[in-house]
A and B are shown apart, each in its own frame.
Chain A
Amino acid sequence: MTTTTATLTPHRLESPHRVVSVTRLLFANPFQILVLPMIILVGVLLTNIAIWVLIKSVANGTVPAFQTGALAYVIVYSIIVGVQAISRTFPFSLGFGVTRRDFYFGSLIAFVILAAMYTVVMTILNLFEIATNGWWLDGHMFTPIFFDAGTVPLQSLLYFVSLLVSLFVGAGVATFYVRWKSTGVVCFFGGLTVLIVAAWAIVTYTHNWPAVFAWLMNTGALEMVAWMLVPAAAIAVAGFFNLRRATPKG
């Protein structure tokens, strides 16, 4: 009996297509990844407006402008979106014959698109906030003074970079879970805590707290967030290597 080995027919879908397929896969259920976060965003906005109306109605005389950091909810929620997208879609994608590499690149592309989409919605709301002079209440959620990049385009860039940092951090942390389950996550946060405490100790022992505060005071929100791209990129790169040897479990 002669034995030959089956060869692959050349027309099959290959790598570049499959990266895009993964990106599409992450948007296959738009409610979870697009609609729900925007419902949260609008919900947070309406809650803040309600509070401002309430304060205005009970306060006598002039009230200072309202500033809220409520946007942080949405940005932090993006970490969860990143974690869920990676941890739940990874084992599923492997069953669909996707390589780890294609899965990760496809996911990161999806996160860039997602950050851009959220940014568009936030920019529209920001423009509306400016046009209405803070929702007719002098309330500032989309450009609060401590999260102000100066101009509308720079503000949009600030949203985009903040969201991207969150999504990439979420994706990176999720790979520790995918690779080593809860042990990986515990070790990751353990390591992170050690790093933060070490940095804290160094600043304390070198008596550099005044310099740190001065830097924080003088550095704009955009520049600060841009600096955060560095650790975010580091986590995302670590995520790639974590995933390369990860196996689906359970």
Chain B
Amino acid sequence: MTTVVEVNGLTKRYGKFAAVSDANFAVAENRIYGLLGRNGAGKTTIMQLLTGQQFATHGTIDVFGESPVENARVLSNICFIKESQSYPEDFKPKHVFKAAPWFFSNWDAAFAERLVKEFRLPLNRRIKKLSRGQLSAVGVIIGLASRAPLTFFDEPYLGLDAVARQTFYDRLLEDYAEHPRTVILSTHLIDEVSNLLEHVLVIDEGKIIIDQPTDELRGSAAVIGGTTSAVDAFVAGRPILHSESLGSFTSVTVEHLSADDRKRATAAGLELSPVSLQQLIVRKTSIPETEFGAQS
């Protein structure tokens, strides 16, 4: 495994408030990472620290083996697309795309042009007159067409409709397959991107609470459904992440089931189903589901 990012004991304080506290993680090369967490959990701060936009209070950050702060060698390999990105006064999208190749050595103008068409982005309109979705499209196009070895997308989809979001996910996967690179994507729409993510980092109140490959995380829990009495009998003594009842039917989310467990459950007439990534993260972090579900 080749490591692109390595973070040790990373803490970022604003006054007394710790936006990130004692975070340790590594990011492997050429994978798609999901950085997930609630609003204000510290996702953006982590991305700003990794891209040298913010300064760490404690701890070390290595990106491509070096500190990213004021390091042109490192930063020229990074593209950071932020939800709240501001643009120079009176810039139009065409100015942004004209300038991009001066900064990104892998910039693919033909790809950018194709994305502009797919997102129906008006090139000649002033950026401050663009809709929220069109503004997001500008960022998404830069992030994809720049093909930076390390690309950050911080909630890049705000205001994008479902079709445009799907276009983003499709193009990201396609282009990633042809031009492997490391992508770190922060999002609230966990289920929408769950098929994209190979590895999940969950941050809550500044702490990394989950750092696992997506498949492993998915396999770490299951939903068992059936009559209340049968389910209760089966799950007795197991840690329960979540339980829901409707009439005499109960469904329970439990941690890791062995092959044996699965056989027993099927024999007992229980129904097994995988947990959605979003559900799982919500359960594991005991984050109220509405916090994630309310986003669009």
Contact = CB atoms under 8 A, between A and B. Distances in A.
B64 A6 contact: yes
Contact of A14 (B54, B62, B73, B149): B73
A92 B85 contact: yes
A177 to B, nearest CB: 13
Given A28-B95, A247-B48, A8 B70 contact: no
A68 interface: no
A247 B54 contact: yes
Interface in A16-39: 18, 21, 24-26, 28-29, 31-32
B29 A6 contact: yes
Contacts of A89: 88
A1 B3 CA distance: 12
Q: How large is the interface on A (under 10, 10 to 19, 20 to 34, 35 or more residues)?
A: 35 or more
B102 interface: yes
A12 B66 CA distance: 15
A99 B53 CA distance: 9
Contact of B87 (A11, A85, A92, A248): A92
Given A95-B80, A96-B100, A6 B85 contact: no
- Bin the interface of chain B by size: 35 or more
B89 A250 contact: no
B73 to A, nearest CB: 5
B156 to A, nearest CB: 12
* Most chain A Cβ neighbours within 10 Å, of B74, B88, B148: B88
Contacts of B48: 247-248
Contacts of A84: 89
B103 A96 contact: yes
A94 interface: yes
A56 B109 CA distance: 58
A91 B2 CA distance: 31
B82 interface: yes
Contact of A24 (B66, B78, B99, B149): B99
B72 interface: yes
B77 A25 contact: no
Interface string A94-110: 11111111100000000
A31 B53 contact: no
B57 interface: no
A5 interface: yes
A207 interface: no
Contact of A5 (B2, B87, B89, B92): B2
A218 interface: no
A181 interface: no
Contacts of A6: 2-4, 29, 64-65, 149
A179 B79 CA distance: 22
A97 B3 contact: no
Nearest to B79: A97
B71 interface: yes
Given A7-B65, A100-B70, A18 B76 contact: yes
A7 B78 CA distance: 14
Interface of A: 1-8, 11-15, 18, 21, 24-26, 28-29, 31-32, 84-85, 88-89, 91-92, 94-102, 244-245, 247-248, 250
Q: Which 3 A-B pairs have the closest CB atoms?
A: A21-B102, A97-B75, A96-B103
